[in-house]
């Protein structure tokens, strides 16, 4: 434990950090003269909030859809514990049926956990479902304590501790979600509460986990970013206050376009768990994308032969076909065109060596071959690559049939066409040029 004991500063007026969050202007980035050192945690992993935060951004999934997504998470994980946990609402019959369907799978990973408000009535749901762990909403900033809950800091903290004790009394691990922690008084509220939780942990000989919730995406990933916005300093402060990194979890939002880098920063400075949702879908601007953090983990800790990276592609196709997701064509890793090049000079480079314009072996790792989208910039090299990839044949760049197709494309753009040539158009022109002497489309 730390030598420093933090005391709750039970102020009479809320601290809204107006010098950082003026509201009528954009938030301010502030920096300290010194930063904190990277902390190499022994293990880092992913948790998932697709079935909780993810369902606050779209129509609810059916229980059967939840179970299928859960299958995909298990397939990607490959028994490694990389995707360690996922959380569920427990309020409706639909919610509880989804939990039951997932429990029937008997998977070791992801582990099934709950999510409740800090009230005794909600806690009964966790006991009824037989879960070993639950998240508990424990709002951390004065914006929430004073302006939403209409309580003092002392009253709020005591109510949170009461529910955490109720969980521990029943043998359930509490995971306290510090809502809006990046606008909270870290020394005066958050760390005193954290140390009280660590006392409970010692008393009950049980983990008591803490989720750091960047509710409005104010987190900053830089080592010398000031509190309360600085992710590195926040994680370091919790560890210095006696909270093990294994009991810390980062939960971010993308309001200011830093959702993934903040999650990575949390990992780098000693927070072992990064909370995600599939394709980043979550309340408002969304959460760290699960697939992005899987690849981020591989970059930090190495590609794991047991992790099924290709199942990310299968999950994306399922999400588009069965769940109504509309992933942008250029969405990283899974978008239709994420590894498709349009420039002719790039296509020529791909033909010489795929590594020139492809970020990694997308065919091997994600079952996504590189592709070329045909425009007026594609040239004969792009057409050649398109035909070879689609039909698995070899052809010369200056083959008369390639030239004939290029002439058709040039005519389209001479007539002021602005869009790319569609696959249907290309396939029709290729069939015409080759006179039907082609193998089936790949």
How does pLDDT run across 226-283, given as a tens digit for each residue? 999 999 999 999 999 999 999 999 999 999 999 999 999 999 999 999 999 999 999 9
What CA–CA distance (Å, rounded) separates 350 from 347?
A: 5
Looking at the fold, whether 95 and 232 belong to one and the same domain comes out as yes
Q: What is the pLDDT of residue 119?
A: 83
Which pair of structure tokens corresponds to residue 146? 């004073």
Q: Is residue 407 part of a domain?
A: yes
Is there a single domain that holds both residue 360 and residue 419?
Answer: yes
Euclidean distance between the first and final Cα of the chain, in Å? 60
Q: 86 pairs with which residues across the strands?
A: 48, 112
Does residue 400 share a domain with residue 263?
A: no
Q: Which residues contact 43 (CB under 8 A, 6 or more apart)?
A: 246, 272
Angle between helices 423-434 and 400-414 (to 10 degrees): 140
Q: Is 2 domain-assigned?
A: no
The two most distant CA atoms of the chain are separated, in Å, by 83
Tokens found for residue 428? 């029709």
Residue 370: its pLDDT value, please? 76
What local confidence, expressed as pLDDT, does residue 342 receive?
62
User: What stretch of H or E contains 275?
Assistant: strand 273-276
Nearest CA-CA partner of 399 in 354, 430, 357? 430
Structural domain boundaries, residue 211: 45-322
367: closest CA among 312, 306, 298, 303? 312
CATH code for the domain in which residue 100 is found: 3.20.20.70
Judge whether 138 lies within some domain. yes
Contact (Cβ atoms closer than 8 angstroms) between residue 47 and residue 276: yes
Q: Are 166 and 57 part of one and the same domain? A: yes
Does residue 8 lie in a domain region?
no
Q: Based on the domain organization, do 263 and 382 belong to the same domain?
A: no
CA atoms within 13 A on the CB side of 250: 40
Please tell me whether residues 265 and 352 are part of one structural domain. Answer: no
pLDDT of residue 397: 86
- Cα 394 from Cα 346, distance rounded (Å): 19
Task: Answer yes or no: is 356 within a domain.
Answer: yes
Tell me how far CA of residue 195 lies from CA of 51, 144, 159, 209, 267, in angstroms: 30, 21, 15, 12, 21
Contact in structure between 405 and 383 (CB atoms under 8 Å): yes
Q: Enter the DSSP assignment of 190.
A: I
Using left for φ > 0, alpha for ψ between -120 and 50, and beta otherwise, residue 81 falls in left
What beta strand segments (E) does 140-272 contain?
Answer: 173-179, 209-214, 248-252
Q: What is the pLDDT of residue 2?
A: 62
| C-alpha distances in Å from residue 312, one per residue of 64, 288, 319 | 19, 15, 10
Domain-located, residue 38: no
Residue 115 is predicted with a pLDDT of 94
296-352 tens-digit pLDDT: 999 999 999 999 999 999 999 999 999 999 999 889 999 988 877 766 555 566 566
| Residue that is last in its domain, among 278, 293, 322 | 322
Last residue of a domain, one of 296, 322, 348: 322
- CA–CA distances in Å: residue 59 to residues 49, 325, 396: 15, 11, 50
What residue ranges of the chain have pLDDT lower than 50? 1
Quote the pLDDT of residue 343. Answer: 61
Copy the structure tokens of residue 88. Answer: 């569920």
Q: Which one-letter DSSP state was computed for residue 25?
A: S
Integer Cα distance of 131 and 125 in angstroms: 9
Return the number of other C-beta atoms located less than 10 Å from residue 197's C-beta. Answer: 23
Residues 263, 168 within the same domain: yes
Place of tokens 């529910």: 163
Residue with tokens 């508990």: 136
Taking a C-beta distance cutoff of 8 angstroms, is the pair 234, 242 a contact? no
Instruction: In whole angstroms, give the CA distance from residue 261 to residue 69.
Output: 25
Same domain, 347 and 309: no
Instruction: Examine the domain organization and report whether 190 and 57 are in the same domain.
Output: yes
Buried/exposed 414-428: b ≥16 CB within 10 Å, e otherwise? eeeeeebbeeeebbe
How high is the pLDDT of residue 137?
A: 96
Q: Say what the pTM is.
A: 0.89
DSSP-assigned beta bridge partners for residue 137: 117, 177
Q: Are 247 and 194 in contact (CB under 8 A)?
A: no
According to DSSP, residue 49 is labeled -
Tokens representing 176 are 């306290």
Q: Does 332 reside within a domain?
A: no
d(CA 291, CA 308): 11
Residue 122 lies in a domain: yes
Q: Are strands 248-252 and 340-341 parallel, antiparallel or unpaired?
A: unpaired
301 with 395, same domain: the answer is: no
299 shares its domain with 368? no
Question: In this structure, are 294 and 387 located in the same domain?
Answer: no
Please count the structural domains in the chain: 2
């Amino acid at each position: 434990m730390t030598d420093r004991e933090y005391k709750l500063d039970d102020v009479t007026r809320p601290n809204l950090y107006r010098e950082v969050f003026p509201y009528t202007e954009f938030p301010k980035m502030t920096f300290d003269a010194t930063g904190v050192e990277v902390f190499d945690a022994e293990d880092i992993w992913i948790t998932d909030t697709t079935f909780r935060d993810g369902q606050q951004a779209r129509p609810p999934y059916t229980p059967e859809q939840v179970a299928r997504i859960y299958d995909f998470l298990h397939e990607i994980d490959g028994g490694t514990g990389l995707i360690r946990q996922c959380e569920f609402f427990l309020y409706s019959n639909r919610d509880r049926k989804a939990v039951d369907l997932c429990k029937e799978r008997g998977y070791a990973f992801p582990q099934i956990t709950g999510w409740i408000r800090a009230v005794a009535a909600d806690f009964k749901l966790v006991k009824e479902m037989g879960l070993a762990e639950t998240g508990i909403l424990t709002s951390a900033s004065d914006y929430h304590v004073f302006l939403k809950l209409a309580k003092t800091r002392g009253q709020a903290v005591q109510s949170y501790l009461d529910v955490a004790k109720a969980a521990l009394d029943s043998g359930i691990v509490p995971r306290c979600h510090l809502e809006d922690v990046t606008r909270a008084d870290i020394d005066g509220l958050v760390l005193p509460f954290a140390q009280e939780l660590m006392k409970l942990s010692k008393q009950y000989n049980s983990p008591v986990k803490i989720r750091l919730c960047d509710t409005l995406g104010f987190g900053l990933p830089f080592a010398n970013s000031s509190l309360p916005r600085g992710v590195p300093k926040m994680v370091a402060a919790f560890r210095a206050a006696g909270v093990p990194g294994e009991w810390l979890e980062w939960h971010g939002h993308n309001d200011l376009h830093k959702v993934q880098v903040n999650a990575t920063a949390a990992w780098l400075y000693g927070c072992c768990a990064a909370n995600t949702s599939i394709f980043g879908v979550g309340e408002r601007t969304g959460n760290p994308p699960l697939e992005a953090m899987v690849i981020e983990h591989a970059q930090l800790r190495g590609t794991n032969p047991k992790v099924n990276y290709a199942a990310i592609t299968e999950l994306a196709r399922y999400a588009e076909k069965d769940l109504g997701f509309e992933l942008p064509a250029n969405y990283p890793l899974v978008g239709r065109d994420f590894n498709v090049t349009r420039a002719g000079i790039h296509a020529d480079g791909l033909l010489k060596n795929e590594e020139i314009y492809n970020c990694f072996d997308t065919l091997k790792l994600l079952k996504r071959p590189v592709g070329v989208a045909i425009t007026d910039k594609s040239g004969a090299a792009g057409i050649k690559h398109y035909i070879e990839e689609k039909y698995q044949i070899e052809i010369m760049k200056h083959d008369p049939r390639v030239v004939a197709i290029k002439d058709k494309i040039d005519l389209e753009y001479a007539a002021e066409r602005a869009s790319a040539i569609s696959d249907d158009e290309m396939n029709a022109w290729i069939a015409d040029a080759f006179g039907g002497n082609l193998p089936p489309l790949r």
